[in-house]
Structure 1
Amino acid sequence: MNKKEQALEALEQVIKEREAADRRRKAMKGSQEESIVSDWTLTQLHIVAIVKEQERANNTMLAEHLNVSKPAITKAVKKLLDQQILEKTQQADNKKEVYYRLTKSGEMLAFIHSQLHEQARNRYMRIFAEFNSTELETIIRFLHALAENIKSH
């Protein structure tokens, strides 16, 4: 088997392991934190993270920041509003523009998401520590090419 076939086989194994881990997490519901976060889409979790960090987050800003359509933001925000994770705010001098802020539940969700994000980051950093600079450059090139391939399909 040549190197390209070995690389393809390794990539397929990563995908299979990721899918199996996702199935295990859904079946077991993992930790309480993972269970809470699993109720939300990635877009919704990113919205919560952005609203936590930005003072004036609205649909336009969120769409631009996440590089998704405004209708997708509207749909994601609707559930966050319905579940009282976000609440709408308006400026006294401009009732037309709607902004969002986190509720207490939203603050908790943002904190949990941040903690899980940090744990994942630390796991990846431990893996990257096993590679030298040249190998990391190759990994980076591969991941960028993979992301572009995914985006174009």
Structure 2
Amino acid sequence: MNKQELVMMEFRDLFNKMVWLNKNKLEDSLKGHKPSEVHCMEYIEKNVDPNVTKLAESLYMTKGAISKLTKKLMDKGLIECYQKPDNKKEIYFRLTEKGKEIYDIHEDLHHEFQERDKVIFEQVTQEQYESMLSFMKKYSQHLDEEIKKRGIGIN
């Protein structure tokens, strides 16, 4: 196995372990809410004037899928839509109080997981962080270019 294959295998293994470790706690704490719903609410809370296009780009989903997802979240009373007085065409989203409760639970869980894993991250040097982040940025940019080449969009 070459280094590239080994790195990719280790990334997958690492990701799968995180999912496995976090899964039960997330499911128990966020009963009735799918990961896509929670991540959509997270994006809405953390970004200015989130709309269908921004959500689709961020979550790597189609605009149609985001429209269905946001409708479902509105039906559950977790988000609401709004418009700006100077732009009646564009629709934006924000969390309701009920949505903020789910968001807060999700954030608390992230902090709990970070605390659990802090022991390993405290051992990472600044240079190691910079190297890992540089690699991830380059790889992400490469994948963005591949997505563009294939004409895969958020239609």
So what's the TM-score if we normalise by structure 2?
Answer: 0.61
Q: How many residue pairs are counted as aligned between the two chains?
A: 144
* Residue 45 of structure 1: aligned partner: 38
Contact 1:89 1:99 in 2 (8 A): yes
What letter matches 1:40 in structure 2?
Answer: P
Question: Once the 2 structures are TM-superposed, how far is the Cα of residue 130 of structure 1 from its aligned partner?
Answer: 1.0
CA distance in 2, matches of 1:110, 1:102: 9
Name which of 71, 78, 102 aligns with 2:95: 102
* Residue 108 of structure 2: aligned partner: 115
Cα pair distance change 1:37/1:109, threshold 3 Å: farther
Q: Which moved more, 1:110-119 or 1:143-152?
A: 143-152
Contact 1:87 1:101 in 2 (8 A): yes
* Residue 18 of structure 1: aligned partner: 15
Contact 1:86 1:102 in 2 (8 A): yes
Residue 138 of structure 1 pairs with residue 135 of structure 2? no
Residue 86 of structure 1 pairs with residue 70 of structure 2? no
Contact 1:48 1:110 in 2 (8 A): yes
Unaligned runs of 5+ in 2: 148-155
Question: Once the 2 structures are TM-superposed, how far is the Cα of residue 61 of structure 1 from its aligned partner?
Answer: 5.0
Cα pair distance change 1:96/1:124, threshold 3 Å: same
Q: Which has the larger radius of gyration?
A: 1
Q: Bigger relative contact order, structure 1 or 2, given CA contacts below 8 A and separation 6+?
A: 2
Cα RMSD for the two superposed structures: 3.8
Q: Percent identity?
A: 26
CA distance in 1, matches of 2:89, 2:48: 17
Contact 2:44 2:50 in 1 (8 A): yes
Question: Once the 2 structures are TM-superposed, how far is the Cα of residue 94 of structure 1 from its aligned partner?
Answer: 6.8
So what's the TM-score if we normalise by structure 1?
Answer: 0.62
Q: Secondary structure at the match of 1:87?
A: strand
CA distance in 2, matches of 1:17, 1:94: 44
CA distance in 2, matches of 1:14, 1:99: 35
